[in-house]
Amino acid sequence: METIKAKFNSKKLNIKNIKIMIGLVLVLIILITFTITRDTDRLITHEEANTIYNDGTITKLIIDGDYIHIKTTTKGYKIYKNAINKKAFFTKYPIEVKEESISLFDILSLFVILIAFGFLYRLIYQSRLSQNINIKQVTKEKVSTPTEKNDSIKPTVSNITFDDVAGIEEVKEELEEIIDFLKEPNKYISNDIRLPKGVLLVGPPGVGKTLIAKAVAGEAKVPFFYQSGASFVHIYVGMGAKRVSELFKKAKEMSPSIIFIDEIDAVGKSRGDFRNDEREATLNQLLTEMDGFEDNSGVIVMAATNKIDMLDDALLRAGRFDRRIHIPLPDINDRAKTIELYLSRKANDVDIDKVAQMTIGFNAAALDTLTNESALYSMKMGRERVQTADFEAVKDKVLQGKHKILSLTEKEREIQAVYQASKSVVATWLDVEFSKIGLVNRDFITNEREILSKSRLLSQVKVYLAGSIATKIRYKEQYTNASGDLHKAKELIHKIIYQYSMGDNLIPNANEEIELLNEAINETTTLLNTLETAMNETARHLLSYEHISVDECRDILRKIF
């Protein structure tokens, strides 16, 4: 009630202040206008002054500082006093000297300006005072509300274990000693062994960083304090730091325990030119708390981020988050184990290895979604068991939504069939792996090896070029559907020469890049002319079934060759 009353009074005060400020501004405008318009005499040259002198219309001269005002029967002029023949003018016409004195207008202007500045100072002071009162009232209400305080520092008991996290065996091994320490801290303390205070989980979104932290708490059977980095950032300076202090205090009281800060980059960004007082206060409090508790306190701080390069260096130094565990996207074996885990409670006849092969680039969250969508699709189709075909049917939907191949005209379907058939035939002939190629999509298997040969890279370039070359041979025309693949071909050629240094010269150059691309075009053209029959058969297959697998393409090639 007091807060509402304070806000109401503050609003009334603001309205009153605004009215006074508007009045002062209007007065200032009037004064400025009067200042501009009170001296209406036009500034003239020596020649103009002589003309007026000869006309004989001058009534008097007024000396005002550096200027002489010439008053005529109709108008007024002024000229710099050293620009006229003073002897001639002063002898012929009456002279009036204007004394330099502070006019009433000048006094009034100064008085209004002083009042305006005084009122502005008072307005700023009252605004800050009102803000401080509101902060104190809000802080008082927050402290006096036990429910909010308790909710923010209430631990959870995790029922997740490493059995619920598939793959990432190396990550599990690194965390085993943390779990053992939480289970039996005295074993380490008695041997004077210190474990890191902070463990930073680094990896792209969706790889399961939060799940891993919960699994550590579940394995150790200790309280788990979860906080998002964004929850520490408040409007009022000091509130985030207060929450950090309360969090660590509660964790120490319930040790051994785990504090987990998700998306720590929200509060732990590097301190630079763009200052944020609240975030810096919170970060400083976090650093202080991590320095403050003992190595044997039984509290382990875990955090997760996908932007480690944005974190402040102070967070990463020894004694804080000095252990960093990188969690990459799952490889083919990890994907197979993850899919197997997600399918363990679903009746299925799924070829897990095949699904793992076609899901390169999927993180754990995407695999979970894919498995669930596949089960839903299977149910919709009236099947009691999930099939591999269900995964194939919903894969594109999970990634980017379904393609609408019905939007292609019959002529476009024929062009696209030739385009995709040429790529599948060349890829099969050159052993460039793919799982399936359709009329509007293709799934080449991305290489997960570190070492790649130049010939293998050039084979990939030829596959990218195949569609454009085939349609040009068949239709004597080029089409826009080749733009994406042509861009990839040129990009890969550029990497071969400049990034991988696989050219003939030690110093790469643009001519070598062009020569290599032209060589790839010529070899692909020759190969497509040789494989024309196989390409036509593959195109017919695509028009009938809208997709072709690598095994089906191999069968076509075996029949012909």
What confidence tier does 21 reach under pLDDT thresholds 50, 70, 90? low
256 cis-preceded (ω within 30 degrees of 0): yes
436 CB neighbour count, 10 Å cutoff: 19
Select the more confidently predicted residue: 441 or 476: 476
Average pLDDT over residues 189-202: 82
- CA dihedral of 488, 489, 493, 495, whole degrees rounded to 10: 20
Per-residue confidence (pLDDT) for residue 333, from 0 to 100:
84
Per-residue confidence (pLDDT) for residue 3, from 0 to 100:
47
The CATH number of the structural domain formed by 332-399 is 1.10.8.60
Please check whether residue 149 is in contact with residue 143, taking contact to mean a CB–CB distance below 8 angstroms: yes
Letter for the amino acid at 441?
A: N
Average pLDDT taken over every residue of the chain: 79
Residue 309 φ then ψ, to 5°: -70, -15
What confidence tier does 6 reach under pLDDT thresholds 50, 70, 90? very low
Q: pLDDT tens across 484-536, in order?
A: 999 999 999 999 999 999 988 888 888 999 999 999 999 999 999 999 999 99
Q: pLDDT tens across 51-65, in order?
A: 777 777 787 877 777
Domain 162-326 in the same topology as domain 2-104: no
Residue 203: name the closest of 327, 100, 35, 303 by CA: 327
Per-residue H/E/C for 280-341: HHHHHHHHHHHHHCCCCCCEEEEEEECCHHHECHHHHCCCCCCEEEECCCCCHHHHHHHHHH
Class of 405-560 in CATH: mainly alpha
Per-residue confidence (pLDDT) for residue 404, from 0 to 100:
45
What confidence tier does 403 reach under pLDDT thresholds 50, 70, 90? very low
Rounded CA separation 559/271 (Å): 67
Average pLDDT over residues 385-408: 71
Residue 321 Cα to chain centre, angstroms: 23
Give the CA angle between residues 386, 387, 393 to the nearest 5°.
Answer: 105
Contacts of 528 (CB under 8 A, 6+ apart): 422, 425, 426, 466, 469, 470, 473, 535
Per-residue confidence (pLDDT) for residue 277, from 0 to 100:
64
- Residue 325's DSSP bridge partners are 201
User: Model's pTM, two decimal places?
Assistant: 0.52
Rounded CA separation 185/189 (Å): 6
Per-residue confidence (pLDDT) for residue 149, from 0 to 100:
44
Per-residue confidence (pLDDT) for residue 255, from 0 to 100:
81
Alpha-carbon distance values, 417 to 439, 478, 540, 557 (Å): 6, 15, 8, 17
What confidence tier does 144 reach under pLDDT thresholds 50, 70, 90? very low
Residue 535 φ then ψ, to 5°: -65, -40
Give the residue carrying structure tokens 């691309």: 517
For the stretch 446-480, what's the b/e string if a residue is b when 16 or more beta carbons lie within 10 angstroms of its beta carbon? Answer: eeeeeeeeeeebbbbbbbbbbbbbbbeebeeeebe
Residue 123: name the closest of 213, 24, 210 by CA: 24
The topology under which CATH files domain 162-326 is Rossmann fold (3.40.50)
Rounded CA separation 548/545 (Å): 7
Per-residue confidence (pLDDT) for residue 539, from 0 to 100:
95
**By percentage, how much of the chain surpasses pLDDT 90?**
21
Rounded CA separation 331/364 (Å): 11
Q: In this model, does residue 207 exceed pLDDT 80?
A: yes
What confidence tier does 555 reach under pLDDT thresholds 50, 70, 90? very high
Give domain limits for the chain.
Answer: 2-104, 162-326, 332-399, 405-560
Please check whether residue 415 is in contact with residue 470, taking contact to mean a CB–CB distance below 8 angstroms: no
Q: In this model, does residue 483 exceed pLDDT 80?
A: yes
Q: pLDDT tens across 372-394, in order?
A: 999 998 999 899 999 988 888 88
Rounded CA separation 125/318 (Å): 45
Rounded CA separation 323/318 (Å): 9
Please check whether residue 3 is in contact with residue 134, taking contact to mean a CB–CB distance below 8 angstroms: yes
CATH architecture of 2-104: 2-Layer Sandwich (3.30)
Rounded CA separation 167/181 (Å): 23
How many residues does the structure list for the chain?
Answer: 561
Residue 410 Cα to chain centre, angstroms: 42
